[in-house]
Amino acid sequence: MAANGFIDKARITVRAGDGGGGAVAFHREKYVAAGGPDGGDGGRGGDIVLKVDEHMSTLMDFRYKRKYVAQNGFPGQGKRCSGKDGETLTIRVPRGTLVRDTETGEIICDMAGQDTFVLCKGGRGGWGNQHFATPTRQVPHFAKAGLPGQVRDVVLELKLLADVGLVGFPNVGKSTLLSVVTRANPKIANYHFTTLSPNLGVVALEEGTSFVLADIPGIIEGASEGAGLGHDFLRHIDRCRLLIHIVDVSGSEGRDPVEDFEAINAELRQYSPELADRPMIVAGNKVDIAENREGLETLKAHVEKLGLPFFELSAAAHQGTTELMWEAARRLQDLPPITVYESTYVERPPEIDTSEDLEIEVEDGEWFVDGPWLRQLMANVNFSDFESRSWFERKLRESGLYQRLEDMGIQDGDTICLYNLEFEYQK
């Protein structure tokens, strides 16, 4: 997490709501004898949904609240009335938030390319006793509990959405340039680490020509290994399509421009080789206060030898800034759009202890199976997916359930009832 209150990484636990239990009830009406079971089903548990909030720029809201729980579904009622579904819990995040699985680090979703995402699904509601009436069991005195909602531990990681990123050592004039070419108002002062959080601004050159520019806090040597503030903010350059490398050529701090240029490039390369190969424009800044042009000319020759465009600049004096921005806009026309990360997350079946015995009741060719681990198992199955159903079938066999049913005399064609799931048994 970054300094001075800027939060760009947070770990949270989210739990969707459990399904409500089904109701045990019987129809009661004057002059109607033996009205029969009419217990309604339980409501579905509330989902956990991520939603992009364009007005958020940090993950500060997650600094003190780390656990989010959606509402459970309501239980069913008599007269075949289903319980109310639990309310969806919406968690607002900044545009550009990357959601990773805490354990594996895999990407679950990237909130740069979508506005909403269902992070956890609520549990299904349990069946009321209306579902369990048969010709021989006309007054079932039981219903089913709801299934538990999904639970996840995730890491939220903010990667700013900017077309162009300003990189360079502290105090080289990045914030000044941002303030000159955009309407942003970053803090500007003549000391290192004035900027403690990334700043964004929109460069509008003419109608139809604009891009987002980001001032990334000063990177120093060792930033890729955690030194200074740069390590906290290097991730924000990941999405930038173009980098503008600002180098102080004034000699006011006794630094060598070429050494500074190479030192920053080395940090980018250590953090991400792909980032080091990102298209780059180099700008020699503070030319208006340079004692001589020796450092400027040396840097220019070095940069042009590498095949990179070079601009002379004085951000404070507004010298060369417009030309630099037009060059950036021209380069962006030929570059691919901002990176949106594809999901790499593979849902892994949970470890479920199936050693505990299940309760089994049989009546009129219907086999009712119940037990805590079975509820957990069914909550993690997507019955519309073939592989998920196959895993479910395999877990039931491995648990010894089918063998036990056969030992108790189950026949082909008998119905197995697992909460709100029914299927015919086939050997």
pLDDT tens digits along 384-409: 888 888 889 888 998 999 999 999 99
C-beta separation of 245 from 281 below 8 A? yes
- CATH number of the domain to which 66 belongs: 2.70.210.12
Residue position matching structure tokens 């009741």: 361
Name residue 90's beta-bridge partners. 49
Judge residue 177's burial from the number of C-beta atoms within 10 Å of its C-beta, 0-12 exposed, 13-18 middle, 19 or more buried. Answer: buried
- Report the 10 Å Cβ neighbour count for 142: 16
Distance CA 268, CA 281 (A): 15
Mean pLDDT value of segment 270-281: 89
Least confident of 25-34, 185-194, 276-285, 344-353: 185-194
Residue 189: pLDDT band with limits 50, 70, 90: very low
In the predicted structure, residue 193 carries a pLDDT above the cut 70: no
| Amino acid (1-letter code) at residue 300 | K
Same domain assignment for residues 168 and 155: no
In the predicted structure, residue 173 carries a pLDDT above the cut 60: yes
Give Cβ neighbours of residue 193 (< 8 Å, ≥ 6 apart). Answer: 170, 217, 218, 228, 229
Same domain assignment for residues 39 and 132: yes
Same domain assignment for residues 258 and 169: yes
In the predicted structure, residue 267 carries a pLDDT above the cut 80: yes
In a domain, residue 41? The reply is yes
Distances (CA, A) of 213 to 33, 125, 192, 244: 76, 49, 21, 10
Give pLDDT, residue 186.
Answer: 53
Give the SS3 label for residue 209. Answer: strand
Give the SS3 label for residue 34. Answer: coil
Distance CA 347, CA 133 (A): 37
Give pLDDT, residue 197.
Answer: 64
Residue 178: pLDDT band with limits 50, 70, 90: very high
Same domain assignment for residues 404 and 297: no
Distance CA 299, CA 357 (A): 76
Which of 159, 174, 201 marks a domain boundary?
Answer: 159
pTM listed for this prediction:
0.76
Which of residues 263 and 7 earns the better pLDDT score? 263
| Amino acid (1-letter code) at residue 195 | T
Q: How many CA atoms lie within 13 A of 124 on its CB side?
A: 17
Span 317-346, pLDDT tens digits: 999 999 999 999 999 999 998 888 899 988
In the predicted structure, residue 222 carries a pLDDT above the cut 60: no
Mean pLDDT value of segment 41-46: 96
In a domain, residue 342? The reply is no
In a domain, residue 234? The reply is yes
Distance CA 168, CA 190 (A): 15
Give pLDDT, residue 233.
Answer: 65
In the predicted structure, residue 422 carries a pLDDT above the cut 70: yes
Give pLDDT, residue 271.
Answer: 83
Q: Which of 328, 341, 382 is nearest to 177 (CA)?
A: 328
Same domain assignment for residues 101 and 187: no
In the predicted structure, residue 184 carries a pLDDT above the cut 70: no
Same domain assignment for residues 87 and 204: no
Q: What share of the chain is helix, strand, coil (3-state, %, to 5)?
A: 25, 25, 50
In a domain, residue 106? The reply is yes
* Residue 241, Ramachandran bin (φ over 0: left; ψ between -120 and 50: alpha; else beta): alpha
In a domain, residue 345? The reply is no
C-beta separation of 288 from 278 below 8 A? no
In the predicted structure, residue 71 carries a pLDDT above the cut 60: yes
Rg (CA), the chain: 31
Distance CA 194, CA 186 (A): 9
Give pLDDT, residue 2.
Answer: 42
Which of 159, 189, 214 marks a domain boundary?
Answer: 159
Instruction: Name the strands in the sheet holding 48-52, side by side, starting at the edge strand that comes first in the sequence.
Output: 89-93, 48-52, 116-120
Residue 221: pLDDT band with limits 50, 70, 90: low
Same domain assignment for residues 219 and 315: yes
Kindly compute the dihedral angle of the four CA atoms of residues 250, 217, 261, 332, in this order, to the nearest 10 degrees.
-110
Same domain assignment for residues 380 and 311: no
Same domain assignment for residues 186 and 291: yes
In a domain, residue 322? The reply is yes
Number of domains in the chain: 3
In a domain, residue 125? The reply is yes
Mean pLDDT value of segment 16-43: 86
Span 296-308, pLDDT tens digits: 999 999 999 999 9
Same domain assignment for residues 302 and 392: no
Least confident of 27-41, 148-162, 166-180, 265-279: 27-41
Give pLDDT, residue 20.
Answer: 95
Residues of the chain with pLDDT > 90: what percent?
50
Give Cβ neighbours of residue 61 (< 8 Å, ≥ 6 apart). Answer: 92
- CATH number of the domain to which 211 belongs: 3.40.50.300
Mean pLDDT value of segment 107-122: 95
Give the residue numbers spanning the domain of 143: 1-159
Give the SS3 label for residue 129. Answer: helix
Distances (CA, A) of 305 to 246, 298, 301, 302, 366: 18, 11, 6, 5, 81
Give pLDDT, residue 17.
Answer: 97
Give pLDDT, residue 6.
Answer: 53
Which of 159, 190, 209 marks a domain boundary?
Answer: 159
Q: Which of 13, 36, 14 is nearest to 26 (CA)?
A: 36
Dihedral pair phi/psi, residue 89, rounded to 5°: -100, 120
In the predicted structure, residue 1 carries a pLDDT above the cut 80: no
Same domain assignment for residues 172 and 214: yes
- CATH number of the domain to which 385 belongs: 3.30.300.350
Average pLDDT score, the chain: 86
Least confident of 31-35, 86-90, 313-317: 31-35
In a domain, residue 99? The reply is yes
Same domain assignment for residues 19 and 133: yes
